[in-house]
Amino acid sequence: MTKQKTAAILAIGDELLSGRTQDANMHYLAGWLTERGVELREARFVTDDMDDIGEALNALRTKYDYVVTSGGIGPTHDDITIDAIAKALGVSVITHPTAKKMIEKFYTAQGKEVTEARLRMARTPEGARLIVNKLSGAPGVCIENIFVMAGVPGIFRVMLTAIDDEIERGEVVHSRAATAYKLPESVIAGALGEIQTEIKGVSIGSYPIDGDDKGVTVVARSTDAAIADKAIEAVATAIKAQGFEPVMSDRKKSEE
């Protein structure tokens, strides 16, 4: 186990910013990285614009250990992620011989034609390695510290599985939660601030359920499980002192 690595996601696509499509990849990646002890520090969403993609990529790849991109690697004219990344890195775009074979094999096996559009998905920045895509043939791409993946959630997840071994595990953050229904968070705000100050090595977050009077979930996060336990016990005591009964929980799968 080492210190936590950091990561960012760059989600690419006009449809995400026009309100047409709700992104599902950021949230999934966040939970996936957290389980592996990697800290997702930032997410950026940009449109299908070469310069905007390049600028965001260059900012993120120099700041974080890993950058995961999603979207824009399909067969159509609006899929420009490969070109934008190559330009940002100052390398050429090539047709990757192995990617070409993968795509030929995938479509031929289905009795389908290997068209120019499909072969567009074999283009990579020069020097890239491939991320195997068991679902739909066309691979993702890894270059330097950047993982270039599909935007379609099912394929994004399959590609994550394929890069699992390349992600260096860090200290896993243990998360404990206490929920108090109907308790306004402002009532325990003072106590939470004190607990945050008194207990070292924990991060305490307070999340109102729907405004200040419907209740609150308090989350204690620490790489030391004992410290997370100690902090959430102190939170539970503060909740009880206000006459409310906390509902305790560890990090739930459904929240990931």
**In the complex with its own copies, which residue's Cβ is closer, 52 or 229?**
52
Cβ pair 146, 65 in contact under 8 A: no
**How buried is residue 175: exposed, middle or buried, by Cβ count under 10 Å (0-12/13-18/19+)?**
buried
Q: Which of 126, 166, 198, 255 binds its own copies (CB under 8 A)?
A: 255
Q: Is residue 187 a contact residue for its own copies (CB under 8 A)?
A: yes
Stretch that binds its own copies, among 139-147, 198-206, 223-231, 241-249 (CB under 8 A): 198-206
User: Does the footprint of its own copies cover residue 124 (CB under 8 A)?
Assistant: no
The reply to whether 75 sits near its own copies by the rule CB under 8 A is: yes
Applying CB under 8 A, among 136, 145, 223, 249 the residue interacting with its own copies is 136
8 Å CB contact between 8 and 59: no
Q: Of residues 53-72, which lie at the interface with its own copies (CB under 8 A)?
A: 56
As measured in angstroms, the least distance from the Cβ of 127 to its own copies is: 26
Q: Which helix (H) or strand (E) holds 233?
A: helix 225-241
Q: List residues bridging with 67 in a β-sheet.
A: 8, 146
Contact flag: residue 205 with its own copies (CB under 8 A): yes
Q: Which of residues 80, 93, 132, 135 is near its own copies by CB under 8 A? A: 135
Output 30 or 91, the one with its CB closest to its own copies. 30
